Structure 1
Amino acid sequence: MHALYQKINTERIVWRIEELAKCSVTKKGVTRFSFSKENEMAHELVAQWMRDAGMTVRRDGLNNIIGRYEGKWPDAPALLIGSHLDSIIEAGKYDGVLGVIAGIEVVQTLYENGMRPNNPMEVIGFCDEEGARFHTTLLGSRAMAGNLREEELFAKDGNGTTLAEAMKEFGLDPLQYNTVARNPKTILGYLELHIEQGPILEQMNQPCGVVSGIAGQSRYKFRVEGLTGHAGTVPLSLRKDALVGTAEMIQTIERLALQYESLVATVGKIAIFPGASNVIPGLVEGTLDVRSVDDGTRMTALNRIFEECEHIAKRRGLICEFTKVMESPAVICSSRFIDVISSVLKEYKMKSVQLVSGAGHDAMALASITDIGMIFVRCKNGLSHHPDEFVAAEDIKIGTSVLLDVALKLTS
């Protein structure tokens, strides 16, 4: 297997990542939402690269792009390799994209060297993992796992466009979303290579690690309603200021989260109404994201957050409401996949360090129907979701080589 290491074309991988980075609304970083012109440009590039790698290409009913490389046993279950092609606002160029392009390179290396695995391989670019547009994550992978709910078709973006409407704009029938679901019997397992988005591998001076599990996540929208008033005439003691109340709630959320090991909580977005400098804010809307590898801890912390925010609202004469957007349990990676990835790391003279992912990944959704495994690749300063996100070319080559060797071990 190591002989193929030299066949991996690192320059091709880096060039493709740079080309995808150009498919962006913004010049600073990458902004590429699902069901957008920019995402369509990225899909067309990826489809062509998949064909160049000897794959047949199709798009499913939720706009996931899938390239298939037939194996010696075409009726055998396929090994899926993938990640996502969408981004947050002003993201880095490697998040998600590295996993898709590395997967294509794995297949292209086999194709160019006349090799066929026993099992087919499929490389997948998922349509919407981040949830930046419709605020509901893992759309493509949850649909593939058969866990997308019909009501989610009516989730709206910031312009009021629903997911169903956006799908129609790209020629998709929203009512056919359930046809995306895969039969678990046709899947051997799912592999995902991803940047670490954390500092541990860099601190260890190691290019790659194996993921043991992915933190569970709760995502909520919240609404704090007070009373709008004149900024110059209403005394502070008589105000029902929704923003001041929200600020106290945010500090309380941080204080509570710090009391639990392995738990994080983030208020990542707020909107203030009416949003004028001389008007007391009467309404604040925002988002809450709570994560932990222990689902019990996560739920306990959430309940405390709700209770304390309700107390703050009552004391200040406000109304506070939380609405669940998404709930995903913690996921444990397959022990078989962990063992195979660990053995390959050792072959490359690396420690088989096991890492827990605090970030969500498409692997979480696929875990409900098949075995999953994840490989983390070192990123500079552990920085992600930022324009300065960076992965060294040598680490890209090592990570892709590990992915190739793991895929061959699983399909031989």
Structure 2
Amino acid sequence: MADMMMIHDLGTRTLDLLDRLAAITDEPGRITRLYLSPAHRRAADQVADWMRDRGLDVTEDAIGTVRGFLAPAAPGPQANRRLLIGSHIDTVIDAGKYDGNLGVVAGLMVVEELRARGIALPFGLEVLAFGDEEGVRFPSSLSSSAAVSGTYRGEWLDTADRNGVKLRDALRAHGGDPARIREAVIPPGSVIGYVELHIEQGPVLEHQGEPLGVVTSIAGQSRFRILITGEAGHAGTVPMGLRRDAFAALAELATFIERATREGTANLVATIGRVDVKPGATNVIPSEVEATLDIRASADAPRLAAIERIRYEADQIAQRRGVKIRFERFADVPTCPMNEDLQTGLAAAVASLGESTRRLPSGAGHDAMAMARAFPSAMLFVRSRGGISHNPAEFTSVTDLGLAVEAMIRFVAGMAARHAA
């Protein structure tokens, strides 16, 4: 069982580091720290200093990931392998202070406590502070972790931000080197696993009254542009039965999408997040609509089946209403299962605290998705108040922070005992 005074102390020290990171921003008065911005540079330097304070050997790779390495306690059969702990230090615009940052700070706290408690590791431990998970400044989400896992896409370097700055130029200004990105790869055979602590960013744990949850999979997702073409007409003179209203067609389709996903399985969800209506006049029947559809599930088959149902219904709506409906897929990511052995280890650590070993999928994407392409990967969620994220109102209590960090410490200690044996 957990000593709650110790848990509160762990949470308080964790929150202190989160508060200090939150003060590093490109926009005074709110947290905005985009990839390769001046604030990202300052945050990377601060994290590097904290790593050195805890006795880690610090490097920064060519893509801007700060890496702190703790060598194994002694030579042995596992001494040439390492366990990875990490997350990201970039943020969205007007962000909260927990998303991503907690996973990095937790890695630092794990190292600090392993040393304080005299826990020797038969393998190396590496803490990773990725720089580009959010994909806000450039269209290159998860690029830092993709570089580590060997899946970096070279075309990302030629993308530009809204000011026309190319990623490759911003990377050079940051101190990185586009020509050496391949050197950031960690050989898969040298890695025991990658583990990421993250706020849930959803309401499930809070609803269940549980502070921690072990992630089973990261949802697959498909994204589409929906293009609907009808016919403009006078809002006062065209009878309702004779209209070819593009927006009304979207409204009918949106209602069907909500119903279909409510009936789905595997945590199926769908969102129409942006709608552009033309010609956009108060007294003109809409002739064109462009909308986005984001559909996700914790397994691929239900997501793909739902897409087929939606496209079939769109054809029926188009015929009834005399419009054309076209789908353009612009993103498709398969479901990413988390490693079963690492899940078991995390569940055991949570159980040792006297907490329920709730397992749940993640509807949001994380660096663990890119890492899982090369390494056994797992995630631990800690509850978020109200499920709020990407928002200054993001909040996780000090007690929950302490429980989450202690679970990570116990997980690493358990891995050490297992590998030493």
Question: What is the TM-score of this pair, normalised by structure 1?
Answer: 0.85
**Mapped pair 1:340 → 2:345:** yes
- Shift of residue 383, structure 1, vs aligned partner: 2.4
CA displacement 1:212-239 (0-9 Å, x = unmatched): 222222234x263759979889968898
Aligned to 2:336: 331
Task: Give the 3 Å change call, closer, same or farther, for CA 377–248 of structure 1 in structure 2.
Answer: same
Separation in 2, partners of 1:156, 1:279: 37
Structure 1 unaligned runs (5+)? Answer: none
**Mapped pair 1:368 → 2:373:** yes
The count of aligned residue pairs is 410
SS in 2 for 1:411: helix
**8 Å Cα contact 1:310/1:320 also seen in 2:** no
**Mapped pair 1:106 → 2:107:** no
Aligned to 1:189: 193
**8 Å Cα contact 1:334/1:373 also seen in 2:** yes
Which deviates the most, 287-296 or 241-250?
A: 241-250
Where in structure 2 are the equivalents of 1:88-99 lying within 5 Å? 88-99=92-103
Aligned to 2:151: 147
Q: What amino acid sits opposite 2:33 in the alignment?
A: R
Task: Give the 3 Å change call, closer, same or farther, for CA 346–316 of structure 1 in structure 2.
Answer: same
Match of 1:322 among 328, 351, 370: 328
Task: Give the 3 Å change call, closer, same or farther, for CA 162–379 of structure 1 in structure 2.
Answer: same
CA RMSD of aligned residues (A): 3.4
CA displacement 1:4-57 (0-9 Å, x = unmatched): 994964333212111222233456753332222232222222121111111122
Match of 2:223 among 219, 223, 229: 219
Separation in 1, partners of 2:180, 2:245: 45
SS in 2 for 1:31: coil
**8 Å Cα contact 2:203/2:386 also seen in 1:** yes
Which deviates the most, 316-325 or 85-94?
A: 316-325
Which deviates the most, 255-264 or 181-190?
A: 255-264
Separation in 2, partners of 1:236, 1:157: 46
**8 Å Cα contact 1:4/1:109 also seen in 2:** no
Separation in 2, partners of 1:316, 1:155: 39
**Mapped pair 1:174 → 2:178:** yes
Aligned to 2:385: 380
Structure 2 unaligned runs (5+)? Answer: none
Separation in 2, partners of 1:42, 1:245: 47
Q: What amino acid sits opposite 2:346 in the alignment?
A: I
Aligned to 1:67: 68
Aligned to 1:40: 41
Task: Give the 3 Å change call, closer, same or farther, for CA 342–227 of structure 1 in structure 2.
Answer: closer
Match of 1:77 among 73, 77, 81: 81
Match of 2:261 among 254, 257, 280: 257
Separation in 2, partners of 1:144, 1:309: 41
Separation in 1, partners of 2:63, 2:191: 19
Match of 2:122 among 118, 121, 132: 118
Where in structure 2 are the equivalents of 1:278-293 lying within 5 Å? 286-293=291-298
Separation in 1, partners of 2:83, 2:172: 30
Q: What amino acid sits opposite 1:174 in the alignment?
A: P
Separation in 2, partners of 1:93, 1:303: 39
Separation in 2, partners of 1:169, 1:39: 12
**8 Å Cα contact 1:224/1:246 also seen in 2:** no
Task: Give the 3 Å change call, closer, same or farther, for CA 34–401 of structure 1 in structure 2.
Answer: same
**8 Å Cα contact 1:245/1:316 also seen in 2:** no
Separation in 2, partners of 1:273, 1:388: 35
Aligned to 1:356: 361
Q: What amino acid sits opposite 2:192 in the alignment?
A: L
Task: Give the 3 Å change call, closer, same or farther, for CA 181–244 of structure 1 in structure 2.
Answer: farther
Task: Give the 3 Å change call, closer, same or farther, for CA 309–84 of structure 1 in structure 2.
Answer: farther
SS in 1 for 2:360: strand
Task: Give the 3 Å change call, closer, same or farther, for CA 168–272 of structure 1 in structure 2.
Answer: farther
SS in 1 for 2:272: strand
Which deviates the most, 4-13 or 223-232?
A: 223-232
Greater radius of gyration (CA)? 2
SS in 2 for 1:67: strand
Where in structure 2 are the equivalents of 1:10-29 lying within 5 Å? 10-26=11-27
Match of 2:398 among 378, 393, 401: 393
How much identity, in percent, do the aligned residues show? 36
- Shift of residue 159, structure 1, vs aligned partner: 4.3
**Mapped pair 1:205 → 2:206:** no
SS in 1 for 2:17: helix
- Shift of residue 243, structure 1, vs aligned partner: 5.6
Question: What is the TM-score of this pair, normalised by structure 2?
Answer: 0.83
**8 Å Cα contact 1:216/1:330 also seen in 2:** yes
**8 Å Cα contact 2:235/2:285 also seen in 1:** no
Separation in 1, partners of 2:256, 2:170: 37
